[in-house]
A and B are shown apart, each in its own frame.
Chain A
Amino acid sequence: MLLDLPFVAVGLIAVIGLGAMIAKKNLIKVILGLGLLEGAVNLFLVAVGYRQDGIAPIFTNAPEGVMVMPTVQALTLTAIVIGVATLALLLTMAMAIHRHYKTLNVERIVKLKG
């Protein structure tokens, strides 16, 4: 049961992030929802690699025991960096939109429709 806790957390964070993206009216909060979804996926990646009573995946002077998976940690690092770049770009676009449209309300940033 305790081992399932990270996956429950992933589900909760993902649902909160999805809800924020759909329901919130402020553009920054929508982007924050995307950040939450990213956190959920990264947490999922790391939690997948855990092995019970595992040790760090370093071969030098390694004690006895099963190692946790190192590949997912590399995947998570890459995904975090991609997430940083994405958030930076999205927030810059939000700044530019605020400068030109004078609003951050998603329901009013609708010059392109129909």
Chain B
Amino acid sequence: MSTFFGGLDNHLPALLVGVPLLFAFLMPLAERVHRRLTDILAVTGMGLTSLCGVLLAIRVFTTGAVGYAFGAASPDEMLPPDSGGVPVRILFTVDALGAFMVLIISVVGLATLVYSVTREDRHGEKATFYALFLLLTAGVSGMVATGDLFNLFVFLEISSLAGAALVAVRMDRGVAVEAALKYALLSATGGLLFLLGVALLYTQYGSLNIAFIARELRMTGLDTVAVALLAVPMAMKCGAVPMHFWMPDAYSRAPAGVTAFLVVSSQCAMYVLFRSLFTLFHRRLDLAMFGWFVIALGVLSMFIGVTMAIPQKDVKRLMAYHAISQSGYMLLGVGVGLAVLGKPELLDAYGRKAMAGGIFHIMNHALYKGLLFLTAGAVIYRTGQRDLNNLGGLGHQMGWTMLCFMAGALAIAGIPPFNGFASKFLLYESVFRFNPFLSIIAILVSVLTLASFMKVFHSMFMGPRLPRFAEVREAPLPMVVSMGVLAVLVILGGLFPTVVVEHIIEPAVVALLEQSEYIQTVMER
């Protein structure tokens, strides 16, 4: 593998960002040549990016963390020989958790781009759409691969702006623009607060590299302010209540493929949250307080997310509230791990399993939430209705969409044998041993989730054939294929969870808990 394509293998972290950027800038040119060329180039570009992502993930999971130095004679030179042991260049550091996120981005990104090929647009809009989509891919890939705080801020802003523009791309009489404005305003403010935290850390330690700051950290008062400034905007971006208000607006008004990818973008913000809490600050944090802060955010998100979802009438707004609720599960699991980080015996008893549950849930959520949004988008595409009160009886005509929806809905409710059950099983059992009350709330929220999706299933697919929808046919083939791929992954993840947990999730948990491996990748090579 190491001589694949004559050494291109060494440059995979850079290609992960460079390839989507190149294809994004080719889009307007391709549009002048021929309209079909944009579709072909977009799918090719996304396919190559996914290939780079999967190869990078395989390399990291088999041989350990990968570091990449930009601008050095060879990508392995993390520390310039005359710098006195300080990493000066911009470095990409991909450890097991980063590779896990890259894998999610690759799979869901390709599925949603293939889904979006069947949009009918006015002349010229599709090239813009693909360019923004590929820019968003470059932004989130850079966010999870980088090991430098300011570089992370730059990629964060790229993904925020591209995401906001994608939400507004179908103007929809101004309502989509209102949603995009809220998303852009909140993301820009969050990014600025994040930059302020980065600046506070820079003034004290003279470096922007995560590994270097992690090694040199003394927890001063300014550092405590910096933790809050780094953590709270990222919690807002992943939809933690009470800063979640933008998420239902933005997710319900974006095109369905874009929403599925915005879910991945939120998970990458959660990755940044965990990276700063675990790798950057580690045990020097006030673990009890920050652990319970993350747990409190998680419990609030779970409960308020699902209770706000039940009375909704717009199908995508309902699913967006469920996205908030499921983010709560991930925050709960990893928060339990953070709270017991300083006590090794509790960590081995249930801390690792709680974190494994939380991180496994990130992947499962990206898969089944993407699937659910894609099915909702297919129904809206064929019927033109987004209000649940006006839908009904589509199970007769859209059989494949109904099956994919069932897979997604049973997965999100945590019903065996789908993948949602596997991660929720890990979460329930380990959180119960930490605090039984939290686990009971989690189970109650699962029941309410199932109730809410029964409502959606009945309103959309059950019932007699309505004469209004007599000409509605099954969704177009690219949509069905992308939904089918995600549904198959949901089922496989549920039938063989140990394969995923052993080879992907456990290395990611170890990468989060062992700060030293991350530091060693940069400082001692």
Contact = CB atoms under 8 A, between A and B. Distances in A.
Interface in A1-58: 21, 27, 30-31, 34, 37-38, 41, 44-45, 48
B133 interface: no
A105 interface: no
B253 interface: yes
B459 to A, nearest CB: 18
B157 A111 contact: no
Nearest to B151: A78
A112 interface: yes
Give the interface SS of chain B, mostly helix, strand, loop or mixed: helix
B173 interface: yes
Interface string B178-193: 1111101100110110
A41 B189 contact: no
Given A34-B185, A89-B165, A96-B177, A41 B202 contact: no
A90 B184 contact: yes
Contact of A37 (B157, B165, B189): B189
B188 A34 contact: yes
Interface size class of B (residues with CB under 8 A): 20 to 34
B195 A41 contact: yes
A66 interface: no
Contacts of B192: 34, 37-38, 41
B180 A93 contact: yes
A67 interface: no
Nearest to A100: B174
Contacts of B181: 27, 90, 93-94, 97, 109
Interface string B151-178: 0011001000100110010010111011
B493 to A, nearest CB: 33
A112 B252 CA distance: 9
A99 B182 CA distance: 17
B157 A82 contact: yes
Given A72-B202, A93-B180, A100 B161 contact: no
B150 interface: yes
B249 A45 contact: no
Contacts of A45: 195, 199
B193 to A, nearest CB: 8
18 contacts: A21-B189, A27-B181, A30-B185, A34-B192, A72-B202, A75-B150, A79-B195, A86-B184, A89-B165, A89-B184, A90-B181, A90-B188, A93-B180, A100-B171, A100-B174, A112-B178, A112-B182, A112-B249
**7 tightest A-B contacts by CB?**
A100-B174, A112-B249, A93-B181, A96-B177, A48-B203, A86-B188, A82-B157
Given A93-B184, A100-B171, 16 more contacts: A27-B181, A34-B188, A37-B189, A41-B192, A44-B196, A48-B203, A71-B202, A75-B150, A79-B153, A82-B157, A86-B157, A89-B184, A90-B185, A93-B180, A100-B177, A101-B174
